[in-house]
Amino acid sequence: MSVQLAESLAEKGPHFDVERVDRIKQAVAEGRYPIDPQRIADSIFQDYAALSR
């Protein structure tokens, strides 16, 4: 994530930890971060269901 993009998002939206995002991004790139496609899909469907109420 570019520093400018992160700063822009931080100013406009809710707080998030830019350093943590960068650490996770690096871990994913290096294959050290487990990705659970089923958990991601479940979360997307839960969010969609909540929005459609």
pLDDT tens, residue by residue, 29-53:
999 999 899 999 999 999 888 888 7
User: 35-39 long-range contacts, Cβ below 8 Å, gap at least 24?
Assistant: none
Asked whether residue 13 carries a pLDDT value surpassing 80, the answer given is no
pLDDT at 1: 58
Asked if residues 20 and 6 have their Cβ atoms less than 8 Å apart, the reply is no
Q: How many helices (H) and strands (E) does the chain have?
A: 3, 0
Which DSSP symbol is given to 14? Answer: S
Distance CA 11, CA 21 (A): 16
Rounded to two decimals, the pTM is 0.47
Asked whether residue 5 carries a pLDDT value surpassing 70, the answer given is yes
Residue type, 48: Y
pLDDT above 70: percentage of residues in the chain: 91
